[in-house]
Chains A and B, each alone.
Chain A
Amino acid sequence: MLEMRRVCVRYGATQVLWDIDLSVGEGEVVAVMGPNGSGKSTIFKAVMGLAPPFAGAISFRGEDITRLPVERHVARGIALVLERRRLFPTMTVRENVLMGAFHAQAAKAADETLRWLQGLFPVLRERGGQIAESLSGGEQQMVAIARGLMSRPRLLILDEPFLGLAPKMVAQVVDLIRAVNAEGIAVLFNEQNVRTSFSIADRGYVIESGRNVVDGTGLGMLEHPDIRRVYLGEQGAAP
C-alpha cells in the first residue's frame, strides 16, 4: 500500500535521511525503531508531505505521492498523529476531534465518523466538552489518535505514540491501536522500545543515523548483530 524507495530528505543543508526503503501492506502494523535523532519522525513527515524528499519516490496505493501537498495526502487516506499529541489546547475535546474532518470529503461524513469513534474511544463520550489541555497525557494521546481517524484514513501514522505515558496508559494505547487495526486500518508507528513495538507490530524496521539497518518480523530481530550494536552498543558486534 505504502512504498518508499530510496528516499532522501534534508532540512536546509543538513541531510537527515539517506536512501530509506520502507513499505506498509494493507491492514498491516509496522514499527520503525531506532535511537533518538535517527530520523524516524522525518520518515513520517516525508510520507505525509511535510518534509518532501529531494530524491527517491513515495507511492500510496499505486499512485506517486512524493511531491503532493499535505492536504492531498489526507484526501488519499493517510493521517499523521504528531509527536507529543499537539492538540489544539484552547479547543474542547470534541472540537479537536472534529478538526480532523476539516476536509470537505471528511466533513460530510463527520457525524457518522464521530459516532464510530465514540464507540472506540470512551474519552470522547466522557470528556467531549472539556478543554483539551486539561486532559492527562494518555487521554490527550487518545484524542489525538481520534482526531487523526476523523479523516477516515487507510493508513494511520503515529509519531511516538507512547512517549511520556505511564505504563498503564501505554497498555491502553496498545489496545487501542489493536482495535483500530481490527477495523482494517494499517498502522505505521515508531517507538524506541523493541518489545513494546513487537507486541503490536507485524514487521519492524530499525533506522540508525537516517539509514536502514535491518528489518524483520519479530523479536528474532533482537538477535541480529546490528541491532545489538545500535541498542546495546556492543563493540564485539560492530562490523
Chain B
Amino acid sequence: MNGMFAPRKGRTLAAAGLAAVAWLSIPLVVQQPYVLHVLILTAIFATFAIGWNLVTGFAGLKTFGHHALFAIAAYASALLAKNFGWSPWITAWLGAGLGTLVGFLVALPALRIRSVAHLAIVTLAFAEIIRILISNLKELTRGELGLIGIPAFDPLFLPVLGRVTFGGSGRPAFFYLASVLMLAALASVWALMRSRAGLAFVALRNSQEAAESLGINLARYKFLAFAASGFIVGLSGAVYAHYVRVLTPHSVAGLEVMIMVIAMVLVGGIGTHLGPVVGALVLVGGAEVLRDVGNYRLLLYGALIVLATRFFPQGIARMAEHVRWPRPAVLKPQPDPERP
C-alpha cells in the first residue's frame, strides 16, 4: 500500500505547525477571560466536530445521534467524580471509554442499514431516548434541575510552571487543556486517515458495494469508525462537563447540540481535516457575538446549513485551498507597453 496517497507536501505540514503554534500563543496576547472562554468552548466543540466528521465526513456513515455519546460521557465523568470523589483526570477517560462502548452500540444498526434516511432516524431516536433517560433518572442526574457541583480538574504540578489550576480563574490553563485535546484529536484522525483503515473509510464512503466486493470487511471498519469517533466525542463531552461544571439534559443531549455540530462541519468543510475547527470557530464565535438573538439561534444554524450546502458545499476549509490569494504587486504580470 506504499505510496498510495502521495505524502503531504512539507509546506502543508509546516503551515499546520505554524497554525498550531499561533493558536497556542493566543493567551500570551489575549488575557480577557471572556475571549478565552469562547476559545475554550471552540476547542471543545471542535473536538466533538472532529469526532463526528470522522464517521460521517470521512467514512460517510450519516449518524445524527452523536450528542448522545457526548452527553453520556459528560454525565458519566461528572457523576463518577462527584459521587465517588474520583479525580476528573481519571473519570474523563472512563467517560470516553463509555462513549466508545456506546459508539459500538450505535454502529450495530449501521451494519445493516445502508439507507441514509433510515440510519439518520435510528441514531436520532437513540439520542432522544438517552436525553429522556437523563431527564427522568432524577435521583441520579437531578433531571431538568441540572447536575451541579461537578468537580473541576485537580491542580497539576508541572515542572517549570509549578501549580496549575483549572477551576474559576485558571482559564489560560484550561485553554491549553482544551487545545491539547483538539490538536490531539486532529492529529489522531489525520494519522488514522493515512492508514489502511483510512483507505477503507474512503472506500466505504464512495461505494459500500464496491468496497465489499473487493473484500473490505465492512463491519470491521464501521465498528472502528464509530468506536474511534465515540472515543473522541466522549472525551470532549467529559472535558466539557468539568469545564462548565453544570449539566442539563438539554445542554448536552439536546438536538440543538447535534445541529450545531452538523452546522460546524458543513460550514467548515465536511470530510476535511481542518473543516470542523474552522466551523467551530465560526459557529461558537458567531453564537457569542449573536448572544442577543437567543431563541433564534437554531434558526440561524438552519439558515447557515442551507447556505453552506447551497453555495459552498465543500466548506470554508476546502474553499481556502482554491482561493487565489492576492499576490504582491511586484509579482503581477506587467502590461505590455508595446500593445494598446
Within 8 A of B (CB), among A62-79: 69-75
Pick from A20-28, A95-103, A191-199, A230-238 the stretch touching chain B.
Answer: A95-103
Assess whether A91 is in contact with B202, with CB atoms less than 8 Å apart: yes
Q: Is A86 on the interface with B (CB-CB < 8 A)?
A: yes
- Cβ-defined partner of B199 (8 Å) among A48, A50, A99, A147: A99
Closest Cβ neighbor of B1 among chain A residues:
A107
Shortest CB distance A124–B (Å):
14
Question: Is A151 an interface residue when CB atoms closer than 8 A count as contact?
Answer: yes
Please tell me if the beta carbons of B215 and A50 are within 8 angstroms of each other in the complex: no
Q: Judging by beta carbons under 8 Å apart, are A89 and B206 in contact?
A: yes
Question: Are the CB atoms of B215 and A75 closer together than 8 Å?
Answer: yes
Q: Measured between C-beta atoms, what is the minimum distance from A150 to chain B in Å?
A: 9
Interface contact A71-B215, CB-CB below 8 Å: yes
Please indicate the chain A residues that have their CB under 8 angstroms from the CB of B4 in the complex: 95, 98
A71-B217, A107-B1 given as contacts; is B212 within 8 A of A99 (CB)? no
> Is the Cβ of A95 less than 8 Å from the Cβ of B215?
no
Which A residues are in CB contact (< 8 Å) with B212? 50, 70
Is A74 within 8 A of B202, CB to CB?
no
**Cα–Cα distance between A50 and B216 once the two chains are bound (Å):** 12
Cα separation A91 to B213 with both chains bound (whole Å): 17
Cβ of B154 within 8 Å of any chain A Cβ, yes or no, is no
Bound CA–CA A143/B214 (angstroms): 14
Please give me the residue from chain A that is nearest to B5 by CB atom: A95
Complexed CA–CA distance, A88 and B210 (Å): 8
Residues of chain A with a CB closer than 8 A to B216's CB:
71, 102
**What B residues does A88 contact at CB under 8 A?**
202-203, 206-207, 210-211
Asked if B196 is at the interface (CB within 8 A of a chain A CB), the reply is: yes
Residues of B bordering A, CB below 8 Å: 1-2, 4-5, 196, 199-200, 202-203, 205-207, 209-217
A-B contact pairs, 26 of them (CB 8 A): A50-B212, A50-B213, A70-B212, A70-B215, A71-B216, A75-B215, A81-B213, A87-B206, A87-B207, A88-B206, A88-B207, A88-B211, A91-B202, A91-B206, A95-B5, A99-B203, A99-B211, A102-B1, A102-B196, A102-B199, A102-B200, A102-B203, A102-B216, A103-B215, A110-B1, A151-B215
Known: A73-B215, A87-B207, A111-B2. 10 other contacts (CB 8 A): A50-B213, A70-B212, A81-B213, A82-B213, A86-B207, A91-B203, A91-B206, A98-B1, A102-B1, A151-B214
Which A residues fall within an 8 A CB radius of B?
A: 48, 50, 69-75, 80-82, 86-91, 95, 98-103, 107, 110-111, 147, 151
Which 6 A-B residue pairs are closest in the complex by CB-CB distance? A74-B215, A88-B206, A71-B215, A86-B210, A107-B1, A80-B213
